[in-house]
Amino acid sequence: MSYEEKGTWVYLVVSVVVYGVYVGVLLSTAQGGTLADVAYVAPLLWTIVASVVAAVVVRIVVEVVRPSESYRSDERDRELARRGVAVGWWGVIAGALVALVLALVEADYFWIANAVYLGFVVSAVLSSVTTIVAYRRGV
């Protein structure tokens, strides 16, 4: 498995796991109340920071445990990453559109912020899965 493919797997797993933890924190904080009343700003910001730190740490651990033969990206790696990013942008676009609609109907900031964050997570999943499938199919 190439260095870039390993990085894509790390990005996918960290994105999904950290977002799952964030949702779990929100649900446990709500304790049966409405989600819009939960203090979400600090958990959201900490989740974003944790995601970046976890991605770096996990990437290092993966390379220590299973070192790559080369750390250089070739043209194939760049093309697969480009395809993944092109597909992943649809998640960002969808999140932005949902946030725009929520703002227009004057929804709580909670829902707007979480629509944007979910858009980023969907983007990460779409781009990672697209790239991994391309690697696996030998494109």
pLDDT per residue as tens, the chain (139 positions)? 888 999 999 999 999 999 999 999 999 999 888 988 999 999 999 999 999 999 999 999 999 998 888 777 888 889 999 999 999 999 999 999 999 999 999 999 999 999 999 999 999 999 999 999 999 987 7
Q: Where are the beta strands (DSSP E) in 1-139?
A: none
The answer to whether 16 and 54 are in contact (CB under 8 A) is: no
DSSP 8-state secondary structure symbol assigned to residue 38: S
- Give ∠ CA 106-111-117 in degrees, rounded to 5: 130
Residue 90 to residues 59, 81, 124, 137, Cα–Cα distance (Å): 26, 15, 10, 22
Nearest to 36 by CA among 100, 97, 93, 114: 114
- How far apart (Å, rounded) are the C-alpha atoms in residues 24 and 11? 20
What one-letter code names the amino acid at 72?
R
pLDDT at 120: 97
Residue 84: both structure tokens together: 């993944």
Alpha-carbon distance of 41 to 36, in angstroms, equals 11
pTM of the full structure: 0.89
Domain range summary for the chain, segments of one domain joined by +: 3-136
Q: What is the per-residue pLDDT for 1?
A: 82
The one-letter amino acid code at 4 reads: E
